[in-house]
Amino acid sequence: MSHEADTIPESIEDSALRNLSGLRDTCDGGYFQTMAPYNGNPSPDREDADFQRATQGGIPALLVMVGDGEYENRTMGGRIADLEMELLILIASCNLRSPEARSRGDMSSQDPGIYQMIKDIRGLLYNVPLEGVFGACRARPIRQGAVLRGSDRTIWLLTYALNTDVVEERLDANDPKLLQISNKLGFSQEENPGAPDDVTEFDVDL
């Protein structure tokens, strides 16, 4: 099975949103008006254009994106690696009653406050598999904190960590990449039909 590293961030974001979909305001007991992928500043200020665009559907809002990742524990000639990724979740409250209401919520609003959002997200993500992410372990929270305490909104950033597997398939004898390598090495399919099969025995970093 092959899973290219450049598809892993998309898979992580999509899977996290599926796990959290019960918190959308269209679900019983849900409240987020916006739940979407995000590729802006993870510490947006009050006038951040990307954050405003991403939350046009309304606040309370939940936005997901991936952060940094590191490769380690390469095995089988460099064809399998562990990739540890950060999953970043921005949550926003805009309860206008008070800063305390944006943190703790109040009975008169559909906005439960940041603290309840954190608890609900943790209940749906912590130690829960991310389906559709090949080789992914269960997400674990590693840090959280406020990135904006404004006059009309509060935004927190939650960071989760998880490991995934990156597997590179052994190339087929007729793969263009392999044929290019064989040409550079001086092999000719017409003169030596068995040469590509021999080349596939090499571990070549592409």
Tokens in use for 73?
């524990």
Per-residue pLDDT of 171-184, as tens digits, reads: 555 555 444 544 44
Q: Are 167 and 134 in contact (CB under 8 A)?
A: yes
Residue 7 has pLDDT above 80, yes or no: no
Per-residue pLDDT tens over the stretch 85-135: 899 999 999 998 999 999 999 877 789 999 999 999 999 999 888 887 766
For residue 136, the one-letter residue type is: A
**Mean pLDDT across the stretch 5-27?**
89
pLDDT at 202 over 70: no
- Residue 204 predicted with pLDDT over 60: no
As a whole number of angstroms, the distance between CA 122 and CA 99 comes to 23
> What percent of the chain has pLDDT above 90?
52
Mean confidence (pLDDT) of the chain: 81
Mean pLDDT, residues 52-74: 90
In DSSP terms, which residues pair with 70 in a beta bridge? 84
pTM for the model: 0.76
pLDDT single digits (tens) 31-52? 999 999 999 999 999 899 999 9
Check pLDDT > 80 for residue 191: no
Q: Mind giving me the DSSP string for the chain?
A: --B-GGGHHHHHHHHHHHHTGGGBTTSTT--BSEEEE--S-SS--TT-HHHHHHTTT-SSEEEEEEEEEEEEEEETTTTEEEEEEEEEEEEEE--SS-HHHHHH--TT-S---HHHHHHHHHHHHTT---TTSTT----EEEEEEEEEE-SS-EEEEEEEEEEEEEE-PPPPTT-HHHHHHHHHTT--TTT-TTHHHHHTTS----
Sketch out the chain's domains with CATH numbers: 5-167 (3.30.2000.10), 171-206 (no CATH)
pLDDT for the residue 76 = 57
Tell me the C-alpha to C-alpha distance, in Å, between residue 37 and each of 29, 55, 132.
22, 11, 16
Q: Among the ranges 140-149, 161-170, 196-205, which has the highest mean pLDDT value? A: 140-149
pLDDT at 198 over 70: no
Query: 72 vs 51, which has greater pLDDT?
Result: 51
How many beta carbons lie within 10 A of that of residue 124, not counting itself? Answer: 14
Q: Please give the Cα distance from 173 to 101 (Å, whole number).
A: 64
Residue 142 predicted with pLDDT over 70: yes
Cβ–Cβ < 8 Å for 173, 155:
no
